[in-house]
Amino acid sequence: MPSAAQTLEAVRFEELRDVVEAELQNLDFPDEPADLYDAVRYVLKGGGKRLRPVTLLLTAEAFGVETERAMPAALAVELFHNFTLVHDDIMDKAETRRNRRTVHIVWNAETAILAGDLIMAKAYDTLSKLSVTNLADVHHRFYRTVAALCEGQSLDTAFERRSNVSVDAYLDMIDRKTGALLQSCFELGGVLGDAASPKIQELRELGRHVGRGFQIQDDLLDLMADDARWGKVIGGDLMVGKKTYLLLRSLELSEGRDYEWFQRIVTNEGLRANQVDEARERMSNLGVLTDAEEAVRHHVEQAVAHLDVLPEGNARATLHWLLLKLQKRVH
């Protein structure tokens, strides 16, 4: 049974998410070409927790910035996030996301690429609507986020061609691919609130830990989630040989026949669906699943510690609640 404080924090999160959702659906797009703009609308109606824009709004709110004033930045990060999902799904050849067929499956890869490009352009257009004196600085910070994320995606793709990838290299990659946009949410919230440079840097560090915790938890959920709620194929990463935290830690911790078994996933670029249960059991016996849960807990705790950079109040309390929710995402 949640406490009254937790209930208030959950209500505040839902309020902001509903506002973000309404603003996203109210974005104006032409009707023609129908395929292009129907695909764009399809993406933006895909739902999701809207974690990133709400995080930005709460960070800005902690520094005294009204939701309406920070909204263009919040919408920009969510638009850019959706752009990355469209292109990621093409590169990963994913057929579903959030229990819906992906854009390139409903239409085709060409339309999906164009829809993603247009959503990215809309992100920059929306960001330009901020009423701030340092808009050029905000745009530069946003560009730096985009560059880091593209670097991370490039590293992730390069890992597919490498037989040996360390866990440290993987963490560096997710600091860019997953962490960069989350860092940007905290950073831009602070920038809009005129936070001092040392606080901005601490907010970025907060976001880095959130990114690591979020991605390692995602890797866990790929193998451990309830299929109906996860919205993806359980064990899908292993089936395509994706080098996740779980697989790389398995290679680091195993030896002998166990090592050979996991190495074959890399060599053969995946395993069969009927081998997923065996992979889970082997990882459990090695302690990899417990290790991953501990890693998530560590990064969430580090992120919570950095929340002290924010002024006390309801916004910080809601962010604290949100970080703890991250650690407890459904298995």
Res 231: pLDDT: 57
pLDDT tens across 37-47, in order?
A: 999 999 999 98
Q: Measure the CA–CA gap between 287 and 21, rounded to whole angstroms.
A: 40
pLDDT band at 204 (very low <50, low <70, confident <90, very high): very high
Q: Angle of helix 67-92 relative to helix 34-44, nearest 10 degrees?
A: 110
Number of domains forming the structure of the chain: 1
pLDDT, average across residues 222-232: 69
pLDDT, average across residues 202-222: 95
Res 330: pLDDT: 45
User: Which residue, among 57, 324, 326, has the nearest Cα to 185 in the 3D structure?
Assistant: 57
pLDDT tens across 281-331, in order?
A: 999 999 999 999 999 999 999 999 999 999 999 999 999 999 998 877 644
Q: Measure the CA–CA gap between 149 and 167, rounded to whole angstroms.
A: 19
Instruction: Measure CA 305 to chain center.
Output: 21
pLDDT, average across residues 229-254: 87
**198: which 2 tokens?**
């040392």
pLDDT band at 5 (very low <50, low <70, confident <90, very high): very low
pLDDT tens across 64-111, in order?
A: 999 999 999 999 999 999 999 999 999 888 888 888 999 999 999 999
The residue range of the domain holding 73 is: 4-327
pLDDT, average across residues 122-136: 95
Q: What is the DSSP string of 240-254?
A: TT---HHHHHHHHH-
pLDDT band at 230 (very low <50, low <70, confident <90, very high): low
| CATH number of the domain residue 116 falls in | 1.10.600.10
**80: which 2 tokens?**
């850019």
pTM for the full predicted model = 0.91
Res 1: pLDDT: 45
Q: Measure the CA–CA gap between 142 and 127, rounded to whole angstroms.
A: 9
Looking only at the bridges linking them, the beta strands covering 100-101 and 96-97 are: antiparallel
307-315 contacts at long range (C-beta below 8 A, 24 or more positions apart): 307/206, 309/195, 309/199, 309/202, 309/203, 309/206, 310/59, 310/62, 310/63, 311/62, 311/63, 311/64, 313/62, 314/8, 314/9, 314/12, 314/61, 315/58, 315/59, 315/61, 315/62
pLDDT, average across residues 167-187: 96
pLDDT tens across 261-285, in order?
A: 999 999 998 999 999 999 999 999 9
